[in-house]
Amino acid sequence: MTTLIITLPQALPTAATLCEGVLSDDGRSVLRCVETPAALLPAPSGADIVAVVPAGRLSWHRLSLPKGALKGGLFQEGNPGRLRAVLDGLLEDSVLDETSQLHFALEPRPRADEPVWVAACDRAWLHAWLATLAQAGRPVARIVPELAPTLGDAPGNASLNVIGTPDNARLMLAGPDGVTLLPLSVATTALIAWPEEAEVLAEPGVAALAEHFFNRPATLQAAPERWLAAAQSDWDLAQFDLLYTRGTRTRKHLSAMVSSLFRAPRWRAARWAAALLVAVNLVGLQAWAWKEQSALAAQRAAIQGMLTATFPEVRVVVDAPVQMARALADLQRRNGTASAADMETMLAHFQAAAPDTPVPSAIEFIANELRFKGLDSSPAGITQISTRLQPQGYGVRLDAGSLVMMKEERLP
């Protein structure tokens, strides 16, 4: 599925504000980079639109939530209103702005017995950009941070990002202690103890500068690649007032899981195994169907061969069992042998099936149908007679006051 990743500009939206973004057809590689106003962004049919919040627009806070604050269902962070009030109280002295002016979001799958990361950003700015994109026909399905803290306390998971231009280079450190954004200078590199094991990622324009300051090789990572990596994370900042309904939230998570099954590299072996299993079953079903069709064709050929060998005068075979029954009846008539469709045979079977039936006023035998007139038979009596005659291959019905008995031709 095509993914459109839009990096939200730092400024409030206007008609002329340029939005940077990247198109990807697999979520892992860059198909095309874009930089255009929101109204002119590409809108592929069925595309998944992801908004990236710049690192400079987010602040990160590590909180120990009260017991029971995260109690809730599988796909939502407890009661949104109650949890939001808890965050307002805990962050009131940690943020510069009023908490009512900020949007909060918790880390993915927070644990109730451990501290959790909380992201905060300007609420009016975020809502303004989401409304602008929705008005432009690009509604955002997920909101992710450009960089996020490393979840857990495992060392070696920190990353050092150098971005910008040689005249305005900046450092972004993401690790277990949060996300730090500073200008690149001698003072910052000397005063701050950067993790020795941290990987240095640098944009092409500042790669040489990063290697000079940190005295280690830098891995090139352009801004679009960083945005792709951000979209691959489990973070989703669309919480609380952006979590419109519980059902919407559930559908988003289910959609994300299905998308992961179809696109994530870790599921590639499972996808191949499933495809191979389906292919093997299809081949097996096709072989079984071919075998059954061959057996059926052989059986039909044997029946037709028996018909033409027994009755050579039959040259065109349309329905072998019916034609064989008719040919046998004609042969019996020519030889003076009573057949099942003869009047005498039918009368004998009828008498055996309905011995207590009154004598009819008239009997007619026309076109292998035996008609009894003047019988006052009830529906129950006719059903009983039909049940007794059916094993002999005869059927009984009422027709204009007459009881009609006929030979039924059935497939063997």
pLDDT of 16-57, one tens digit each? 999 999 999 887 888 899 999 999 998 887 788 999 999 999
* CA 245 vs CA 79, 138, 240, 369, 393: distances in Å: 12, 20, 10, 72, 67
What is the mean pLDDT, run by run of 10 residues, along the chain of 412 residues? Answer: 90 93 87 92 84 94 87 53 88 89 92 89 95 90 91 68 91 88 84 76 92 88 93 90 58 66 78 91 93 90 81 77 76 68 80 80 81 75 82 81 77 46
pLDDT at 50: 92
pLDDT at 377: 67
Range of the domain at 17: 3-148+234-263
Beta strand spans in 101-177 (E): 102-106, 116-122, 142-145, 159-165, 168-175
Number of domains in the chain: 4
C-alpha 110/C-alpha 372 separation (Å) is 87
- The answer to whether 101 touches 122, Cβ cutoff 8 Å, is yes
- Is position 120 within any domain? yes
Q: Are residues 180 and 53 in the same domain?
A: no
Q: Are residues 77 and 9 in the same domain?
A: yes
**Helix locations, 122-206, DSSP H:** 123-135, 186-191
Q: Are residues 60 and 8 in the same domain?
A: yes
- The answer to whether 132 touches 13, Cβ cutoff 8 Å, is yes
C-alpha 161/C-alpha 139 separation (Å) is 29
pLDDT at 287: 93
pLDDT at 374: 77
- Is position 228 within any domain? no
- The answer to whether 154 touches 176, Cβ cutoff 8 Å, is yes
pLDDT at 251: 62
Q: What is the CATH number of the domain that holds 62?
A: 3.30.420.380
| 3-class SS of residue 16 | coil
Q: Enter the DSSP assignment of 156.
A: T
b/e code 210-246 from CB counts within 10 Å (16+ = b): beebbeeebeebbbbbbbbbbbbeebbbbbbebbeee
Q: Are residues 68 and 123 in the same domain?
A: yes
Q: Enter the DSSP assignment of 372.
A: E
C-alpha 349/C-alpha 352 separation (Å) is 5
Nearest to 112 by CA among 142, 52, 71: 71
Q: Are residues 246 and 294 in the same domain?
A: no
Q: Are residues 189 and 256 in the same domain?
A: no
Q: Are residues 249 and 206 in the same domain?
A: no
